[in-house]
Structure 1
Amino acid sequence: MPAIAFGRVDDSFSVASLKAYVAEFISTLLFVFAGVGSAIAYNKLTSNAPLDPAGLVAVAVCHGLALFVAVAIAANISGGHVNPAVTFGLAVGGQITLLTGLLYWIAQLLGSIVASFLLKLVTGGLAIPTHGLGDGIGAVEGLVMEVVVTFALVYTVYATAVDPGKGSIGIIAPIAIGLIVGANILAAGPFSGGSMNPARSFGPAVVSGNFAGIWIYWVGPLVGGAVAGIVYTYVYLHQDQAPVATSEF
Protein backbone atom coordinates (compact mmCIF):
# COMPACT_ATOMS: atom_id res chain seq x y z
CA MET A 1 0.00 0.00 0.00
CA PRO A 2 1.43 3.44 -0.89
CA ALA A 3 2.69 5.25 2.20
CA ILE A 4 3.06 8.93 3.00
CA ALA A 5 6.65 9.98 2.31
CA PHE A 6 8.52 13.23 2.94
CA GLY A 7 10.60 12.91 -0.23
CA ARG A 8 14.17 13.73 -1.23
CA VAL A 9 15.51 17.19 -2.01
CA ASP A 10 17.28 16.01 -5.18
CA ASP A 11 14.04 14.54 -6.51
CA SER A 12 11.92 17.58 -5.64
CA PHE A 13 14.41 19.93 -7.32
CA SER A 14 15.16 17.84 -10.39
CA VAL A 15 14.63 19.30 -13.86
CA ALA A 16 11.44 17.29 -14.29
CA SER A 17 10.09 18.52 -10.96
CA LEU A 18 10.90 22.16 -11.77
CA LYS A 19 9.05 21.79 -15.07
CA ALA A 20 6.11 20.35 -13.13
CA TYR A 21 5.99 23.39 -10.81
CA VAL A 22 5.96 25.75 -13.79
CA ALA A 23 3.16 23.69 -15.36
CA GLU A 24 1.12 23.93 -12.14
CA PHE A 25 1.72 27.68 -11.99
CA ILE A 26 0.56 28.21 -15.58
CA SER A 27 -2.45 25.89 -15.36
CA THR A 28 -3.64 27.43 -12.09
CA LEU A 29 -3.17 30.91 -13.50
CA LEU A 30 -5.27 30.08 -16.57
CA PHE A 31 -7.97 28.38 -14.49
CA VAL A 32 -8.31 31.21 -11.97
CA PHE A 33 -8.15 33.89 -14.65
CA ALA A 34 -11.07 32.32 -16.53
CA GLY A 35 -13.06 31.33 -13.44
CA VAL A 36 -12.77 34.59 -11.53
CA GLY A 37 -12.99 36.49 -14.81
CA SER A 38 -16.39 34.95 -15.50
CA ALA A 39 -17.64 36.20 -12.12
CA ILE A 40 -16.27 39.69 -12.83
CA ALA A 41 -17.91 39.68 -16.27
CA TYR A 42 -21.25 38.69 -14.74
CA ASN A 43 -20.99 41.52 -12.19
CA LYS A 44 -20.18 44.02 -14.92
CA LEU A 45 -23.03 42.93 -17.19
CA THR A 46 -25.58 42.98 -14.36
CA SER A 47 -24.29 46.06 -12.53
CA ASN A 48 -23.36 43.93 -9.52
CA ALA A 49 -26.83 42.43 -9.18
CA PRO A 50 -27.13 39.33 -6.97
CA LEU A 51 -26.18 36.10 -8.66
CA ASP A 52 -29.23 34.64 -10.40
CA PRO A 53 -29.75 31.06 -11.73
CA ALA A 54 -28.50 31.97 -15.20
CA GLY A 55 -25.39 33.58 -13.75
CA LEU A 56 -24.73 30.55 -11.55
CA VAL A 57 -24.93 28.25 -14.56
CA ALA A 58 -22.61 30.49 -16.59
CA VAL A 59 -20.00 30.65 -13.82
CA ALA A 60 -20.20 26.89 -13.21
CA VAL A 61 -19.81 26.11 -16.92
CA CYS A 62 -16.84 28.47 -17.20
CA HIS A 63 -15.08 26.88 -14.23
CA GLY A 64 -15.73 23.39 -15.55
CA LEU A 65 -14.42 24.18 -19.03
CA ALA A 66 -11.41 26.09 -17.71
CA LEU A 67 -10.46 23.27 -15.34
CA PHE A 68 -10.83 20.69 -18.10
CA VAL A 69 -8.29 22.61 -20.17
CA ALA A 70 -6.00 23.39 -17.22
CA VAL A 71 -5.81 19.72 -16.22
CA ALA A 72 -5.39 18.51 -19.80
CA ILE A 73 -2.48 20.80 -20.67
CA ALA A 74 -0.54 19.91 -17.50
CA ALA A 75 -1.47 16.23 -17.21
CA ASN A 76 1.64 14.88 -18.93
CA ILE A 77 3.98 17.25 -17.09
CA SER A 78 2.78 17.66 -13.52
CA GLY A 79 -0.36 15.56 -13.41
CA GLY A 80 -2.55 18.65 -13.66
CA HIS A 81 -3.47 19.09 -9.99
CA VAL A 82 -4.33 22.83 -10.25
CA ASN A 83 -5.52 22.62 -6.63
CA PRO A 84 -3.77 22.28 -3.24
CA ALA A 85 -6.59 20.01 -2.04
CA VAL A 86 -5.96 17.59 -4.90
CA THR A 87 -2.24 17.65 -4.16
CA PHE A 88 -2.89 17.04 -0.46
CA GLY A 89 -5.28 14.19 -1.19
CA LEU A 90 -2.67 12.56 -3.41
CA ALA A 91 0.03 13.05 -0.78
CA VAL A 92 -2.14 11.37 1.85
CA GLY A 93 -2.60 8.46 -0.55
CA GLY A 94 1.14 8.19 -1.15
CA GLN A 95 0.95 9.35 -4.77
CA ILE A 96 3.25 12.35 -4.30
CA THR A 97 5.83 13.19 -1.63
CA LEU A 98 5.12 15.85 0.97
CA LEU A 99 8.09 17.98 -0.12
CA THR A 100 7.09 17.96 -3.78
CA GLY A 101 3.49 18.56 -2.76
CA LEU A 102 4.49 21.63 -0.76
CA LEU A 103 6.28 23.04 -3.81
CA TYR A 104 3.17 22.29 -5.89
CA TRP A 105 1.20 24.36 -3.37
CA ILE A 106 3.55 27.31 -3.77
CA ALA A 107 3.26 27.17 -7.56
CA GLN A 108 -0.53 26.92 -7.41
CA LEU A 109 -0.93 29.79 -4.95
CA LEU A 110 1.40 32.01 -6.96
CA GLY A 111 -0.53 31.19 -10.12
CA SER A 112 -3.78 32.21 -8.48
CA ILE A 113 -2.36 35.44 -7.08
CA VAL A 114 -0.85 36.45 -10.42
CA ALA A 115 -4.11 35.64 -12.22
CA SER A 116 -6.06 37.82 -9.79
CA PHE A 117 -3.60 40.71 -10.18
CA LEU A 118 -3.87 40.41 -13.97
CA LEU A 119 -7.66 40.51 -13.75
CA LYS A 120 -7.46 43.64 -11.61
CA LEU A 121 -5.20 45.21 -14.25
CA VAL A 122 -7.05 44.26 -17.43
CA THR A 123 -10.53 45.07 -16.09
CA GLY A 124 -9.60 48.61 -15.20
CA GLY A 125 -9.49 48.02 -11.48
CA LEU A 126 -12.85 46.27 -11.06
CA ALA A 127 -13.42 44.49 -7.75
CA ILE A 128 -12.13 40.93 -7.53
CA PRO A 129 -14.93 38.74 -6.13
CA THR A 130 -14.08 36.38 -3.29
CA HIS A 131 -15.76 33.27 -1.97
CA GLY A 132 -18.24 33.73 0.83
CA LEU A 133 -21.13 31.99 2.53
CA GLY A 134 -24.68 32.43 1.27
CA ASP A 135 -27.40 34.13 3.28
CA GLY A 136 -28.46 32.04 6.24
CA ILE A 137 -25.49 29.68 5.94
CA GLY A 138 -23.27 29.34 8.99
CA ALA A 139 -19.59 28.48 9.13
CA VAL A 140 -20.25 24.84 10.04
CA GLU A 141 -22.69 24.33 7.16
CA GLY A 142 -20.30 25.99 4.74
CA LEU A 143 -17.38 23.94 6.01
CA VAL A 144 -19.25 20.66 5.63
CA MET A 145 -20.38 21.62 2.15
CA GLU A 146 -16.77 22.27 1.11
CA VAL A 147 -15.68 18.96 2.62
CA VAL A 148 -18.32 17.06 0.66
CA VAL A 149 -17.83 18.71 -2.73
CA THR A 150 -14.03 18.48 -2.47
CA PHE A 151 -14.32 14.82 -1.53
CA ALA A 152 -16.27 14.31 -4.76
CA LEU A 153 -13.60 16.11 -6.77
CA VAL A 154 -10.58 14.28 -5.34
CA TYR A 155 -12.37 10.93 -5.45
CA THR A 156 -13.00 11.58 -9.15
CA VAL A 157 -9.31 12.39 -9.65
CA TYR A 158 -8.32 9.09 -8.05
CA ALA A 159 -10.85 7.07 -10.04
CA THR A 160 -10.10 8.56 -13.45
CA ALA A 161 -6.47 9.68 -13.30
CA VAL A 162 -4.64 7.75 -10.56
CA ASP A 163 -6.05 4.23 -10.26
CA PRO A 164 -3.81 1.87 -12.29
CA GLY A 165 -6.90 -0.21 -13.06
CA LYS A 166 -8.80 2.68 -14.63
CA GLY A 167 -8.20 1.37 -18.16
CA SER A 168 -9.37 3.53 -21.04
CA ILE A 169 -11.39 5.77 -18.71
CA GLY A 170 -8.15 7.59 -17.90
CA ILE A 171 -8.36 9.26 -21.30
CA ILE A 172 -11.40 11.25 -20.21
CA ALA A 173 -9.99 12.18 -16.79
CA PRO A 174 -9.76 15.95 -17.51
CA ILE A 175 -13.35 15.93 -18.79
CA ALA A 176 -14.63 14.08 -15.73
CA ILE A 177 -12.73 16.40 -13.39
CA GLY A 178 -14.07 19.49 -15.14
CA LEU A 179 -17.62 18.12 -15.08
CA ILE A 180 -17.60 17.32 -11.36
CA VAL A 181 -16.34 20.82 -10.55
CA GLY A 182 -19.04 22.43 -12.68
CA ALA A 183 -21.71 20.22 -11.12
CA ASN A 184 -20.46 20.93 -7.59
CA ILE A 185 -20.53 24.69 -8.19
CA LEU A 186 -24.16 24.39 -9.30
CA ALA A 187 -24.93 22.51 -6.08
CA ALA A 188 -22.77 24.43 -3.61
CA GLY A 189 -22.48 27.89 -5.16
CA PRO A 190 -25.45 29.50 -3.37
CA PHE A 191 -24.40 28.00 -0.04
CA SER A 192 -20.60 27.89 0.41
CA GLY A 193 -19.51 29.33 -2.92
CA GLY A 194 -18.35 25.95 -4.19
CA SER A 195 -14.61 26.58 -4.01
CA MET A 196 -13.12 23.08 -3.59
CA ASN A 197 -9.77 24.76 -4.15
CA PRO A 198 -7.76 26.78 -1.59
CA ALA A 199 -5.75 28.42 -4.39
CA ARG A 200 -8.92 29.52 -6.21
CA SER A 201 -10.06 31.27 -3.01
CA PHE A 202 -6.67 32.51 -1.82
CA GLY A 203 -5.56 34.51 -4.88
CA PRO A 204 -8.67 36.70 -5.04
CA ALA A 205 -8.53 37.17 -1.25
CA VAL A 206 -4.95 38.44 -1.47
CA VAL A 207 -5.67 40.90 -4.26
CA SER A 208 -8.95 42.14 -2.78
CA GLY A 209 -7.61 42.23 0.76
CA ASN A 210 -10.71 40.37 1.96
CA PHE A 211 -9.80 37.30 4.02
CA ALA A 212 -13.18 36.91 5.73
CA GLY A 213 -13.90 33.23 6.24
CA ILE A 214 -10.84 32.18 4.23
CA TRP A 215 -10.16 29.39 6.73
CA ILE A 216 -13.30 27.59 5.51
CA TYR A 217 -11.82 27.39 2.01
CA TRP A 218 -8.62 25.88 3.37
CA VAL A 219 -9.89 23.52 6.04
CA GLY A 220 -12.92 22.22 4.11
CA PRO A 221 -11.13 21.32 0.86
CA LEU A 222 -8.07 19.87 2.62
CA VAL A 223 -10.21 17.65 4.84
CA GLY A 224 -12.37 16.56 1.90
CA GLY A 225 -9.31 15.84 -0.22
CA ALA A 226 -7.59 13.89 2.55
CA VAL A 227 -10.67 11.75 3.23
CA ALA A 228 -11.05 10.98 -0.47
CA GLY A 229 -7.39 9.99 -0.69
CA ILE A 230 -7.66 7.70 2.33
CA VAL A 231 -10.92 6.09 1.21
CA TYR A 232 -9.86 5.42 -2.37
CA THR A 233 -6.38 4.25 -1.42
CA TYR A 234 -7.39 1.81 1.32
CA VAL A 235 -10.60 0.57 -0.26
CA TYR A 236 -9.68 0.27 -3.94
CA LEU A 237 -5.93 0.39 -4.44
CA HIS A 238 -3.98 -2.80 -3.78
CA GLN A 239 -0.53 -3.47 -2.43
CA ASP A 240 0.79 -4.56 -5.81
CA GLN A 241 -0.12 -1.26 -7.43
CA ALA A 242 2.78 1.17 -7.36
CA PRO A 243 2.18 4.87 -6.63
CA VAL A 244 2.38 7.32 -9.50
CA ALA A 245 5.84 8.86 -9.93
CA THR A 246 6.22 12.36 -8.53
CA SER A 247 7.07 13.67 -11.99
CA GLU A 248 3.65 12.54 -13.15
CA PHE A 249 1.41 13.23 -10.15
Structure 2
Amino acid sequence: MPEPETPTVSAPATPGTPGGPLFSSLRVDSLSYDRKSMPRCKCLPVDTSTWGPPQSCLHDFPTPDVSLTRKLGAEFVGTFMLIFAATAGPIVNQKYNGAETLIGNAACAGLAVMVIILSTGHISGAHLNPSLTIAFAALRHFPWVQVPAYIVAQVSASICASFALRGVFHPFMSGGVTVPSVSHGQAFALEFIITFNLLFVVTAVATDTRAVGELAGIAVGATVMLNILVAGPSSGGSMNPVRTLGPAIAAGNYRGIWIYLVAPTLGALAGAGVYTAVKLDADDVDPPRQVRSFRR
Protein backbone atom coordinates (compact mmCIF):
# COMPACT_ATOMS: atom_id res chain seq x y z
CA MET A 1 0.00 0.00 0.00
CA PRO A 2 1.27 3.50 -0.73
CA GLU A 3 2.17 5.48 2.33
CA PRO A 4 -0.22 8.31 3.16
CA GLU A 5 1.12 11.71 2.23
CA THR A 6 2.32 13.80 5.11
CA PRO A 7 0.62 17.20 5.05
CA THR A 8 3.02 20.08 4.65
CA VAL A 9 3.21 22.22 7.77
CA SER A 10 4.13 25.84 7.22
CA ALA A 11 6.32 27.65 9.66
CA PRO A 12 4.40 29.71 12.19
CA ALA A 13 4.20 33.39 11.45
CA THR A 14 6.50 35.65 13.34
CA PRO A 15 4.56 37.50 16.03
CA GLY A 16 3.58 40.94 14.83
CA THR A 17 3.95 40.04 11.15
CA PRO A 18 0.80 40.56 9.05
CA GLY A 19 -0.54 37.59 7.17
CA GLY A 20 -1.01 39.52 3.92
CA PRO A 21 1.48 41.41 1.77
CA LEU A 22 3.43 44.16 3.46
CA PHE A 23 2.59 46.75 0.83
CA SER A 24 -0.84 47.01 -0.70
CA SER A 25 -1.28 47.90 -4.35
CA LEU A 26 -3.77 50.55 -3.35
CA ARG A 27 -2.20 53.94 -2.96
CA VAL A 28 -2.92 56.26 -0.07
CA ASP A 29 -4.34 59.57 -1.15
CA SER A 30 -3.47 62.78 0.63
CA LEU A 31 -5.75 65.77 1.01
CA SER A 32 -9.09 64.21 0.13
CA TYR A 33 -11.71 62.00 1.67
CA ASP A 34 -11.53 58.26 0.85
CA ARG A 35 -12.29 58.36 -2.86
CA LYS A 36 -13.36 54.69 -3.13
CA SER A 37 -16.19 55.26 -0.66
CA MET A 38 -17.33 58.57 -2.15
CA PRO A 39 -20.15 59.08 -4.64
CA ARG A 40 -19.34 60.91 -7.85
CA CYS A 41 -19.70 64.69 -7.67
CA LYS A 42 -23.29 65.73 -8.31
CA CYS A 43 -23.04 69.35 -7.15
CA LEU A 44 -21.89 70.68 -10.55
CA PRO A 45 -23.32 69.64 -13.96
CA VAL A 46 -19.99 68.43 -15.34
CA ASP A 47 -20.75 64.78 -15.99
CA THR A 48 -24.48 64.32 -16.42
CA SER A 49 -24.09 60.76 -17.71
CA THR A 50 -23.14 59.57 -14.24
CA TRP A 51 -25.93 61.26 -12.36
CA GLY A 52 -28.12 59.06 -10.26
CA PRO A 53 -30.72 59.61 -7.58
CA PRO A 54 -30.14 62.85 -5.67
CA GLN A 55 -28.15 62.44 -2.48
CA SER A 56 -27.72 64.66 0.55
CA CYS A 57 -24.38 66.43 0.99
CA LEU A 58 -24.77 66.03 4.75
CA HIS A 59 -25.76 62.43 5.29
CA ASP A 60 -24.68 60.23 2.36
CA PHE A 61 -21.06 59.81 3.42
CA PRO A 62 -20.01 56.51 5.01
CA THR A 63 -18.48 56.46 8.44
CA PRO A 64 -14.76 57.24 8.06
CA ASP A 65 -12.15 54.82 9.29
CA VAL A 66 -10.41 57.53 11.32
CA SER A 67 -12.33 59.17 14.14
CA LEU A 68 -13.16 62.85 13.78
CA THR A 69 -11.23 63.61 16.96
CA ARG A 70 -8.03 62.17 15.49
CA LYS A 71 -8.63 64.04 12.24
CA LEU A 72 -9.07 67.34 14.05
CA GLY A 73 -5.98 66.70 16.16
CA ALA A 74 -3.89 66.05 13.06
CA GLU A 75 -5.40 69.06 11.31
CA PHE A 76 -4.62 71.31 14.29
CA VAL A 77 -0.99 70.14 14.51
CA GLY A 78 -0.48 70.37 10.74
CA THR A 79 -1.95 73.87 10.51
CA PHE A 80 0.09 74.99 13.53
CA MET A 81 3.29 73.75 11.85
CA LEU A 82 2.40 75.43 8.56
CA ILE A 83 1.54 78.83 10.05
CA PHE A 84 4.57 78.76 12.34
CA ALA A 85 6.98 77.98 9.48
CA ALA A 86 5.36 80.15 6.79
CA THR A 87 5.13 83.16 9.14
CA ALA A 88 8.52 82.68 10.82
CA GLY A 89 10.35 83.03 7.49
CA PRO A 90 9.26 86.64 6.83
CA ILE A 91 9.72 87.52 10.52
CA VAL A 92 13.31 86.25 10.50
CA ASN A 93 13.83 88.07 7.21
CA GLN A 94 12.70 91.31 8.86
CA LYS A 95 14.68 90.80 12.07
CA TYR A 96 17.97 89.92 10.35
CA ASN A 97 17.83 92.42 7.49
CA GLY A 98 16.84 90.19 4.61
CA ALA A 99 18.68 87.03 5.64
CA GLU A 100 15.90 84.76 4.33
CA THR A 101 15.18 86.55 1.02
CA LEU A 102 12.05 85.88 -1.04
CA ILE A 103 13.31 82.43 -2.03
CA GLY A 104 13.79 81.51 1.62
CA ASN A 105 10.30 82.69 2.51
CA ALA A 106 8.82 80.64 -0.33
CA ALA A 107 10.84 77.60 0.72
CA CYS A 108 9.64 77.85 4.32
CA ALA A 109 6.01 77.64 3.26
CA GLY A 110 6.48 75.11 0.44
CA LEU A 111 8.61 72.70 2.46
CA ALA A 112 6.21 72.96 5.41
CA VAL A 113 3.27 72.03 3.18
CA MET A 114 5.18 69.12 1.68
CA VAL A 115 6.25 67.51 4.95
CA ILE A 116 2.85 68.02 6.57
CA ILE A 117 1.00 66.37 3.68
CA LEU A 118 3.38 63.41 3.73
CA SER A 119 3.09 63.02 7.52
CA THR A 120 -0.59 63.72 8.25
CA GLY A 121 -2.33 63.42 4.88
CA HIS A 122 -3.38 59.83 5.63
CA ILE A 123 -5.03 60.93 8.90
CA SER A 124 -6.89 64.18 8.28
CA GLY A 125 -6.27 64.81 4.60
CA ALA A 126 -3.95 67.73 5.54
CA HIS A 127 -6.29 70.45 4.30
CA LEU A 128 -4.55 73.18 6.37
CA ASN A 129 -6.75 75.75 4.64
CA PRO A 130 -10.45 76.63 5.12
CA SER A 131 -10.73 77.56 1.43
CA LEU A 132 -9.59 74.08 0.43
CA THR A 133 -12.00 72.45 2.88
CA ILE A 134 -14.94 74.46 1.55
CA ALA A 135 -14.02 73.78 -2.09
CA PHE A 136 -13.70 70.03 -1.50
CA ALA A 137 -17.03 69.96 0.31
CA ALA A 138 -18.70 71.88 -2.53
CA LEU A 139 -17.43 69.31 -5.04
CA ARG A 140 -18.46 66.31 -2.92
CA HIS A 141 -14.92 65.23 -2.01
CA PHE A 142 -15.49 65.99 1.69
CA PRO A 143 -18.58 65.84 3.93
CA TRP A 144 -20.16 69.21 4.73
CA VAL A 145 -20.96 68.05 8.25
CA GLN A 146 -17.23 68.06 9.13
CA VAL A 147 -16.45 71.46 7.58
CA PRO A 148 -17.18 73.63 10.67
CA ALA A 149 -15.01 71.45 12.91
CA TYR A 150 -12.13 71.54 10.42
CA ILE A 151 -12.33 75.32 10.11
CA VAL A 152 -12.37 75.75 13.89
CA ALA A 153 -9.25 73.55 14.17
CA GLN A 154 -7.49 75.49 11.42
CA VAL A 155 -8.33 78.94 12.83
CA SER A 156 -7.41 78.03 16.40
CA ALA A 157 -4.11 76.49 15.25
CA SER A 158 -3.29 79.63 13.30
CA ILE A 159 -3.95 81.88 16.30
CA CYS A 160 -1.90 79.66 18.62
CA ALA A 161 1.05 79.54 16.19
CA SER A 162 0.91 83.31 15.68
CA PHE A 163 0.97 84.11 19.39
CA ALA A 164 3.82 81.61 19.85
CA LEU A 165 5.75 83.54 17.19
CA ARG A 166 4.87 86.80 18.87
CA GLY A 167 6.33 85.53 22.13
CA VAL A 168 9.51 84.32 20.45
CA PHE A 169 10.20 87.16 17.99
CA HIS A 170 8.57 90.21 19.64
CA PRO A 171 8.58 93.02 18.47
CA PHE A 172 9.06 91.77 14.89
CA MET A 173 5.64 90.13 14.46
CA SER A 174 4.56 92.68 11.83
CA GLY A 175 6.92 91.09 9.30
CA GLY A 176 4.79 87.95 9.21
CA VAL A 177 1.48 89.64 8.38
CA THR A 178 0.38 89.42 4.74
CA VAL A 179 -0.71 92.91 3.68
CA PRO A 180 -1.00 94.27 0.12
CA SER A 181 1.77 96.48 -1.21
CA VAL A 182 -0.28 97.12 -4.36
CA SER A 183 -3.86 98.29 -4.79
CA HIS A 184 -6.61 96.22 -3.23
CA GLY A 185 -7.89 95.25 -6.67
CA GLN A 186 -4.48 93.99 -7.77
CA ALA A 187 -3.97 92.10 -4.51
CA PHE A 188 -7.42 90.52 -4.84
CA ALA A 189 -6.65 89.38 -8.40
CA LEU A 190 -3.27 87.95 -7.38
CA GLU A 191 -4.70 86.01 -4.43
CA PHE A 192 -7.54 84.68 -6.57
CA ILE A 193 -5.21 83.50 -9.33
CA ILE A 194 -2.57 81.87 -7.14
CA THR A 195 -5.23 80.09 -5.07
CA PHE A 196 -6.84 78.95 -8.32
CA ASN A 197 -3.47 77.48 -9.34
CA LEU A 198 -3.04 75.78 -5.97
CA LEU A 199 -6.48 74.14 -5.92
CA PHE A 200 -6.20 73.06 -9.54
CA VAL A 201 -3.07 71.10 -8.60
CA VAL A 202 -4.47 69.86 -5.28
CA THR A 203 -7.67 68.58 -6.91
CA ALA A 204 -5.64 66.80 -9.57
CA VAL A 205 -3.29 64.92 -7.27
CA ALA A 206 -5.83 64.28 -4.50
CA THR A 207 -9.02 63.28 -6.30
CA ASP A 208 -8.12 61.92 -9.75
CA THR A 209 -7.21 58.24 -9.79
CA ARG A 210 -5.08 58.76 -12.92
CA ALA A 211 -2.83 61.35 -11.27
CA VAL A 212 0.32 60.34 -9.39
CA GLY A 213 -1.15 60.75 -5.93
CA GLU A 214 2.03 59.55 -4.23
CA LEU A 215 3.67 62.81 -5.29
CA ALA A 216 0.92 64.99 -3.80
CA GLY A 217 3.15 66.49 -1.12
CA ILE A 218 5.89 67.45 -3.59
CA ALA A 219 3.46 68.81 -6.19
CA VAL A 220 1.48 70.93 -3.73
CA GLY A 221 4.58 72.17 -1.90
CA ALA A 222 6.19 73.19 -5.19
CA THR A 223 3.02 75.03 -6.22
CA VAL A 224 3.03 76.97 -2.95
CA MET A 225 6.67 77.95 -3.50
CA LEU A 226 5.97 79.05 -7.06
CA ASN A 227 2.97 81.14 -6.03
CA ILE A 228 4.89 82.92 -3.29
CA LEU A 229 7.76 83.70 -5.65
CA VAL A 230 5.22 85.28 -8.02
CA ALA A 231 2.92 87.10 -5.60
CA GLY A 232 4.90 87.36 -2.35
CA PRO A 233 6.26 90.90 -2.87
CA SER A 234 2.83 92.22 -3.94
CA SER A 235 0.15 90.51 -1.84
CA GLY A 236 2.20 88.33 0.51
CA GLY A 237 1.20 85.11 -1.27
CA SER A 238 -1.29 83.98 1.36
CA MET A 239 -3.59 81.56 -0.55
CA ASN A 240 -5.07 80.72 2.85
CA PRO A 241 -7.40 82.76 5.11
CA VAL A 242 -5.78 81.42 8.29
CA ARG A 243 -2.29 82.27 7.00
CA THR A 244 -3.44 85.90 7.24
CA LEU A 245 -5.97 85.79 10.08
CA GLY A 246 -3.78 84.43 12.90
CA PRO A 247 -0.80 86.77 12.32
CA ALA A 248 -3.18 89.72 11.85
CA ILE A 249 -4.75 89.06 15.26
CA ALA A 250 -1.37 88.62 16.95
CA ALA A 251 0.04 91.80 15.39
CA GLY A 252 -3.18 93.84 15.50
CA ASN A 253 -2.87 94.65 11.79
CA TYR A 254 -6.07 94.05 9.81
CA ARG A 255 -5.30 96.13 6.72
CA GLY A 256 -6.99 94.63 3.67
CA ILE A 257 -7.90 91.47 5.57
CA TRP A 258 -11.13 91.03 3.60
CA ILE A 259 -9.02 90.33 0.51
CA TYR A 260 -7.39 87.31 2.18
CA LEU A 261 -10.71 85.93 3.38
CA VAL A 262 -12.69 86.29 0.14
CA ALA A 263 -10.21 85.93 -2.74
CA PRO A 264 -8.67 82.58 -1.68
CA THR A 265 -12.11 81.05 -1.11
CA LEU A 266 -13.39 82.11 -4.52
CA GLY A 267 -10.12 81.07 -6.17
CA ALA A 268 -10.26 77.67 -4.47
CA LEU A 269 -13.81 77.03 -5.66
CA ALA A 270 -12.87 78.06 -9.19
CA GLY A 271 -9.66 76.02 -9.31
CA ALA A 272 -11.24 72.85 -7.97
CA GLY A 273 -14.30 73.30 -10.19
CA VAL A 274 -12.27 73.83 -13.36
CA TYR A 275 -10.17 70.71 -12.81
CA THR A 276 -13.31 68.70 -12.12
CA ALA A 277 -14.77 69.98 -15.39
CA VAL A 278 -11.73 69.20 -17.56
CA LYS A 279 -10.50 65.92 -16.08
CA LEU A 280 -10.74 62.83 -18.25
CA ASP A 281 -13.53 60.32 -17.93
CA ALA A 282 -12.76 56.65 -17.41
CA ASP A 283 -13.70 55.90 -21.05
CA ASP A 284 -11.35 58.53 -22.46
CA VAL A 285 -8.04 56.95 -21.45
CA ASP A 286 -6.25 53.64 -21.69
CA PRO A 287 -6.05 51.48 -18.56
CA PRO A 288 -3.73 53.22 -16.09
CA ARG A 289 -0.18 51.96 -15.89
CA GLN A 290 1.17 50.76 -12.60
CA VAL A 291 3.20 53.53 -11.01
CA ARG A 292 6.13 52.81 -8.74
CA SER A 293 5.57 54.48 -5.43
CA PHE A 294 8.05 55.60 -2.80
CA ARG A 295 5.27 55.80 -0.23
CA ARG A 296 4.10 52.88 1.86
Give me the TM-score of the superposition, normalised by structure 1: 0.85
**Aligned runs of 1:11-50 on 2, under 5 Å?**
16-46=67-97
Gaps of 5+ in 2: 1-39, 44-55, 284-296
Q: Find the counterpart in structure 1 of residue 252 from structure 2.
A: 209
Residue matched to 1:71: 117
Of the three residues 159, 162, 176, the one matched with 2:219 is 176
Count the aligned residue pairs: 231
* 2:291 matched residue in structure 1: none
Q: Does 1:110 align with 2:176?
A: no
Q: Percent of pairs identical after alignment?
A: 35
**Letter in structure 1 aligned against 2:183:** G
What is the one-letter code of the residue matched to 1:142? Answer: A
Moved over 4 A (4+): 8-15, 237-240
Q: Which residue of 2 aligns with 1:142?
A: 187
Cα-to-partner distance string for 1:54-96 (whole Å, 9 max, x where unaligned):
6111101111111111222211011111111111221121101
CA distance in 2, matches of 1:133, 1:192: 4
How far apart in 1 are the matches of 2:195 and 2:171?
A: 31
Per-residue deviation at 1:125? 4.7
Which runs of 5 or more residues in structure 1 are unaligned? Answer: 241-249
Report which of the two structures shows the higher radius of gyration computed on alpha carbons: 2
**Counterparts of 1:111 and 1:12 in 2: how far apart (Å)?**
26
Shift of the 63–15 alpha-carbon distance from structure 1 to 2, 3 Å rule, reads: closer
Distance in 1 (CA, whole Å) between partners of 2:274 and 2:170 is: 46
CA contact (8 A) 1:71 1:82 kept: no
Structure 2 residue matching 1:96: 3-state secondary structure: coil
Q: Per chain length, whose mean CA-contact separation is higher, i.e. which structure has more relative contact order (CA < 8 Å, sep 6+)?
A: 1
Higher helix fraction (1 or 2): 1
Q: 1:82 aligns with which of 128, 136, 139?
A: 128
Q: Cα distance, 1:186 vs. partner?
A: 0.3
Q: How large is the RMSD of aligned CA atoms in angstroms? A: 2.4
2:209 corresponds to: 164
State the partner residue of 2:179: 132
TM-aligned CA deviation for residue 106 of structure 1: 1.0
Helix, strand or coil for the counterpart of 1:191? helix
Q: TM (normalized to structure 2)? A: 0.72
* Separation in 1, partners of 2:63, 2:177: 32
- One-letter amino acid matched to 1:32: I
Q: 1:10 to 1:162 in 2, by over 3 A?
A: closer
Contact 1:86 1:225 survives alignment (8 Å): yes
Matched to 1:2, the amino acid is C
The corresponding residue for 2:42 is: 3
Aligned equivalents of 1:95, 1:233: Cα separation in 2 = 11
Aligned partner letter, 1:98? W
> What is the CA–CA distance in structure 2 between the aligned matches of 1:181 and 1:30, rounded to whole Å?
15
Match of 1:132, as an amino acid?
V
